[in-house]
Chains A and B, each alone.
Chain A
Amino acid sequence: MNILDFLSVSMIPLLVFYIVGNGILNKRPVFEDFTEGAKNGFQIIIEIAPTIVGLIVAVGVLRTSGTLDLISGALSPLADLFHIPTEILPLSIVKMFSASGANGLLFDIFKEFGTDSHIGFSASVLLSCTETLFYTVSLYFMSVGVGKSRWTVPAGIIIAIFSLFISVWVAESMVG
């Protein structure tokens, strides 16, 4: 517990200390290197900006139109069949599109069921074991101009479904 607390607070400062310290020991002009990198970082932001705007608007349309609710409503009989709590399903679907949207749903679940309930715990594990599928694919492929993503999206969906089952199952064996 204490080690984890310490790690979560100190990891970034220690890493920055190590990188800068190592640079100085190697007699590098660290500030010049940093500014050059930061300049390139802004370049990256400008390159990914159109992708991000397009993606967030599309997610916004899906969310505000009620499509996500419709999908999770349609899939809920299937979820019941596999003993997946109804509230977890929309979470795992939203998680494919947007991290902030998923966090919003997570907080609703925490408020309603508590963090240590079966549902709360499943949600905690689910959001910890996969990244946002469509966001990552669009960001990494579109921003470097790769149009054909081949089998990444279907494979990502398989992984997302798998992570859903694993999270519910792990939570069941932890919380009971």
Chain B
Amino acid sequence: MLNYLWAGMILVGIVVAAFEGNLGAVCEGVVASSKEAVELLFVMAGVVSMWNGMLYIANNSGLIETLTQKMRPLLRVIFPKLPLEHKAASFISANFIANILGLGWACTPTGIQAMKELKQLEIDRGNNPQIASNEMCTFLLLNISSLQLIPINMIAYRSQYGSANPVAVVGPALFATALTTVLAFVICGLMCKVSKPGERFFNHQIKCGGGRNR
């Protein structure tokens, strides 16, 4: 899916550019975008490292453990089959908290660590780790539907552009976020029941081929 999506974006874009006479703009755009990506990565490197350092302190001092304990009832509802003593549960809890507080890039390290642990969980379960598990899909969609309580950046943008009441967005945004999150939760619950992730044959092949040593 992601392969086709990415290829589609590039191929369709270039075909459209050819018809619209925008090939020159695309030519510049490709170079400018790759430069923009590296600049973004430089800024991200600092922020992500800082938050990952904080995450390690919180983890090693037992803070994440306490947090996970408190979030157990919620996690049990959202991820019914996730073993709560697994490390993935801790990172998912930390990611949800970072999301709720609206910490932006602090969500990235916790999210990626959680994905890595969920992948490990799939390997432990004997499933093909290259296919997204139910937990991975649910975790991702909840991240996409946004759990943020206060849209701090939006308040800042609104006051920057001369809003009479920048914080007026808080209530409506919270309402909308709650609805999208509920929708995401419903879709996930439904799809986890309907769709089966594993192709056993493929799974078997990977094991025989020493896929674990990659």
Residues of B within 8 A of A41 (CB): 45, 48-53, 109
Please count how many residues in chain B sit with their CB below 8 Å of the partner chain's CB atoms: 99
Least CB distance from A163 to B in Å reads 5
Q: Are A42 and B173 in contact (CB under 8 A)?
A: no
Name the prevailing secondary structure of the B interface residues.
helix
Q: Are A155 and B187 in contact (CB under 8 A)?
A: yes
Q: Are B184 and A28 in contact (CB under 8 A)?
A: no
- Complex Cα spacing A146 to B134, Å: 13
> Is B17 an interface residue when CB atoms closer than 8 A count as contact?
yes
In B127-165, the 8 Å CB interface with A consists of 129-132, 136-137, 140-141, 143-146, 148, 150-152, 154-158, 161-165
- Complex Cα spacing A156 to B119, Å: 21
Residues of B within 8 A of A170 (CB): 172, 175-176
Please count how many residues in chain A sit with their CB below 8 Å of the partner chain's CB atoms: 98
Interface centre among B50, B62, B180 (most CB of A within 10 A): B180
Residues of A within 8 A of B203 (CB): none
Least CB distance from B204 to A in Å reads 16
Q: Are B145 and A56 in contact (CB under 8 A)?
A: no
Least CB distance from B139 to A in Å reads 8
Residues of A within 8 A of B144 (CB): 130-131, 133, 136-137, 156, 159
Q: Are B176 and A150 in contact (CB under 8 A)?
A: no
Contact of B49 among A5, A42, A127 (CB under 8 A): A42
Contact of B53 among A35, A115, A137 (CB under 8 A): A35
> Is B89 an interface residue when CB atoms closer than 8 A count as contact?
no
> Is A44 an interface residue when CB atoms closer than 8 A count as contact?
yes
Contact of B115 among A25, A146, A155, A167 (CB under 8 A): A146
Name the prevailing secondary structure of the A interface residues.
helix
Q: Are A57 and B34 in contact (CB under 8 A)?
A: yes
Contact of A61 among B9, B115, B197 (CB under 8 A): B9
Q: Are A115 and B30 in contact (CB under 8 A)?
A: no
Residues of B within 8 A of A61 (CB): 9-10, 13-14, 17, 26, 29-30, 33
- Complex Cα spacing A115 to B161, Å: 7
> Is B213 an interface residue when CB atoms closer than 8 A count as contact?
no
Interface residues of A (CB under 8 A from B): 1, 4-5, 7-8, 11-12, 15-16, 19-20, 22-23, 25-26, 28, 30, 33-42, 44-45, 47-49, 52-67, 70, 100, 103, 106-107, 110-111, 114-116, 121, 124-131, 133-134, 136-153, 155-156, 158-159, 162-163, 166-167, 170-171, 174
